[in-house]
Structure 1
Amino acid sequence: MADAALRLTALAQELLGQPLPVRVRAWDGSEAGPPGAPVLVVKHRRALRRLLWKPGELGLARAWVAGELDIDGDLYEALDLMAGLLWERGDGANAKGGLGAVRDPRVRAAAGEFLKLAGPGLPPAPPPEEVRGRSGTRHTKRRDKQAISHHYDVGNDFYALVLGPSMVYSCAYWEDAGTLEGAQRDKLDLVCRKLALKKGDRLLDVGCGWGSMAIHAAREYGARVTGVTLSAEQAAYARKRIADEGLADLIDIRVQDYRDVRDGPYDAISSIGMAEHVGSARYREYADDLYALLKPGGRLLNHQIGRRPERDESAYEIDAFIDAYVFPDGELAPVGRTLSILEDAGFEARDVEALREHYALTLRQWVTNLERDWARAVRLVSPGRARVWRLYMAASALSFERNRIGVNQILAVRPEEDGASRMPLRARVWRADATA
């Protein structure tokens, strides 16, 4: 079989109704497709069997994680070219039934040829990095802890390699800083300023990660911080950093679900990149809990990824690759829905700042860090896990750049009993020359 690439591109065009925008290199060494385009390398016929049994994004993701597919050339360009076949097209009506569920005779014939090219065999087992064995109701405390452990308890050294010295796993703020570390410092300081932190204030940091926000708030503003996380590895790392900084008297790091925090009231609450894990069914509970933990006049800074609204919100589906390999049970909501639920819980929304482009820049920096030290990353986790991260971060960067998703900081206040917010009259300052 010396023409596998030519046969693949012809079959793909028949099945998809359009030519592949990338070049294909098959396991037999053959190539076909647009000259000069990034090359989709199909290293093993097993990748085709994965697509037969799971057409669409999840089948492609399994083949990528297993190392059966690769990209020769610019990964961002390749993903951008294929976006119309993935995120913008969706898995399609045949994803559940496989290619055998296709009714069009011409497409069924092409599917049969695809089956011959894939070769005999049962559906390959998913790569070990895929989440399996989930049961019970989403977003119970037990299941949330398992989901968080899957993503975060993969080794602090690996996260340090990707995130850099700041150890901040959310979008940086690229207003003035020229480095990732400086931009992350500026983001943490922006949060502290929006919360109007001062010496002695009690701050609850929900989803505290490796302790960066807690350390900044305590060291720079004299705040007394309680940080909660469900990741034991994060907590251990954060406690060591805090001890090394000499801030143990100001910061308490707990392995605790935010729903179990009972020692309010707090002067301020920061929730940075955590609310995506809450889930739509639990979001009002999340808002109610944080409202109850704040004193009247206290501020909440909710930093959260949001998706574009769907015309039919009931048709929204969680991204198959992200759910299976990255953030199990994670859900995104439009920023308008988030605002409505926070206000329904009693908060007054005072400011919304969109940071979409900032996250794209941050993700590209993380990809650069990963690719720069790829061999060590593979040793720290596994080849499959490293491939998961490279794909998810690069694809996410493009999603932010193309406005498929965004990220927003919502500053909200729990009003005083008389309705006052105690917020300053001066609005956030915008520079007249501030353009992208």
Structure 2
Amino acid sequence: MTDAATRLATLAEEALGAPLPLRIRAWDRSETGPPGTPVLILRNRRALRRMLWKPGELGLARAWVAGDLEIEGDLYEALDQLAGLLWERDDEPAAGRPARLVTAWKAARDPRVRHAVRDLVALAGPGLPPAPPREEAGSTRGPLHTLRRDKQAISHHYDVGNDFYELVLGPSMVYSCAYWDRPDAALEDAQHAKLDLVCRKLALEPGQRLLDVGCGWGSMVLHAARAYGVRAVGITLSEEQASYARKRIADAGLTEKVEIRVQDYREIDDGPYDAISSIGMAEHVGSVRYAEYTGILHRLLAPGGRLLNHQIARRPEPDEEAYHVDEFIDRYVFPDGELAPVGRTVSQLEEAGFEVRDVEAIREHYALTLRRWVANLERSWPEAVRLTSPGRARVWRLYMAACALSFERNRIGVNQILAVRTPEGGASGLPLRTRDWRG
């Protein structure tokens, strides 16, 4: 085979029924495809074997993480084009995208497709399925979202080194959607604005008790104690996060006001709290535990207290029973994480006894945030690789860039839901004009 790229493109187009939207450069340095587009580089035949043994986004991701596959050019443009080939469902039926690769693979009853697949297998060369990159989470057993399994899942994602997260997140160490007043604002300013918005929505006052569920590296409790005078408790399942947060608190002279615990939300027994923040944590709870989660937060909150639940949401599925978690995210990024439609989250908060008073959708803000994190990572790439591994750095670059596109294309969203444990008599304590966020 003297021109593997042309052969690859021809066979792929036979299976897809449409031209490939990207250029291809193969292991023999041959190249073909539309000029001026990003280049998909297959460094070896193993990259093709990975995609053939596991068609769809997981095979592609494994090839990327292992370094068998590269993208030259605009990563966002390449991922946007590849999305139309790899997704199981077509979110944009009017866009004229070619048939999806997974669909074509499953429809191999077509003789043309069978012929193309057979020749692709021959081109990939002999060999067993390549082992997944070591950055892939190990297999887990037993029921979802037990205390032990949740701690293991959190450790896989967060215990990869605080220095690495400093590099990606910047000095704020906030690992959730920032709040932007303009796209060219500084990331630190946007994260400060988000933390302050949460505090104002919760109407924090000096002397109140705040619980921050999933406190990360302590940024929310630090801001709330420093700027609003509250006494705060932050909980996390990550030992590395807790150690980092405690040092920040000590350095700020706030050890008398802020406590960090390595604790599961199901183990908290020292309520009531005047306010609860849950920022980017509920995605880890899972559908099987969500009613328990909302019930516990309702019980921990004092009558009249407020909850701010900041959570990523997916779009509703026509058949919710057939919903599957994203394979790449589940294997490499957030094991056992789940997204729910915002309507379901609102309903479950209400079923727990909360009065939902405000829902603010801020998905464009997360796209801006993710692009800044990707830029931070790319700018310090050699250091990121040194701090973790080449594969781990590649996981983060792929997942953050892909998520930025998903927020921009309205495939997922993120919402701040303000809920109140309204006391008997119905006095919520909120001002008549809620969006002023005073009172």
Q: TM-score, normalised by structure 1?
A: 0.95
**Maintained 8 Å contact 2:85/2:101:** no
Matches of 2:435 and 2:199, distance apart in 1: 15
SS at match of 2:52: helix
**Maintained 8 Å contact 1:306/1:407:** yes
Equivalent in the alignment of 1:396 = 403
- Which one of the candidate residues 326, 343, 362 is aligned to 2:350? 343
**Maintained 8 Å contact 1:52/1:99:** no
1:32-57: CA deviation from partner (whole Å, max 9, x where unpaired): 11111110001111011111211111
Shift of 1:88: 6.0
Equivalent in the alignment of 1:83 = 83
Matches of 1:190 and 1:363, distance apart in 2: 19
Determine if the alignment matches structure 1 residue 191 to structure 2 residue 198.
yes
Shift of 1:429: 5.2
**Maintained 8 Å contact 1:43/1:69:** yes
Determine if the alignment matches structure 1 residue 56 to structure 2 residue 56.
yes
Determine if the alignment matches structure 1 residue 220 to structure 2 residue 227.
yes
SS at match of 2:316: coil
1:83-127: CA deviation from partner (whole Å, max 9, x where unpaired): 21123647x99969x969832222111111001110000000000
Shift of 1:204: 0.3
Equivalent in the alignment of 1:13 = 13
1:56-89: CA deviation from partner (whole Å, max 9, x where unpaired): 1110010000001110000001111112112364
Matches of 1:286 and 1:87, distance apart in 2: 31
Matches of 1:222 and 1:16, distance apart in 2: 60
- Which one of the candidate residues 295, 311, 320 is aligned to 2:318? 311
Equivalent in the alignment of 2:146 = 140
SS at match of 1:281: coil
1:348-386: CA deviation from partner (whole Å, max 9, x where unpaired): 000010110000000000000000000000000000000
Matches of 2:381 and 2:100, distance apart in 1: 37
**Maintained 8 Å contact 1:131/1:324:** yes
Equivalent in the alignment of 1:105 = 111
Determine if the alignment matches structure 1 residue 242 to structure 2 residue 249.
yes
**Paired amino acid for 1:68:** D
SS at match of 1:172: coil
> Identity over aligned residues, as a percent?
74
**Paired amino acid for 2:74:** D
Matches of 1:298 and 1:262, distance apart in 2: 17
**Maintained 8 Å contact 2:160/2:388:** yes
Shift of 1:419: 2.4
- Which one of the candidate residues 280, 295, 307 is aligned to 2:302? 295
**Maintained 8 Å contact 1:100/1:108:** no
Q: TM-score, normalised by structure 2?
A: 0.95
Matches of 2:12 and 2:381, distance apart in 1: 32
Equivalent in the alignment of 1:171 = 177
**Paired amino acid for 1:309:** P
Determine if the alignment matches structure 1 residue 44 to structure 2 residue 44.
yes
**Paired amino acid for 1:168:** V
CA RMSD of aligned residues (A): 1.8
Shift of 1:244: 0.2
Matches of 2:266 and 2:18, distance apart in 1: 49
Determine if the alignment matches structure 1 residue 31 to structure 2 residue 37.
no
**Paired amino acid for 1:345:** A
- Which one of the candidate residues 326, 350, 363 is aligned to 2:333? 326
**Maintained 8 Å contact 2:16/2:101:** no
**Paired amino acid for 2:336:** D
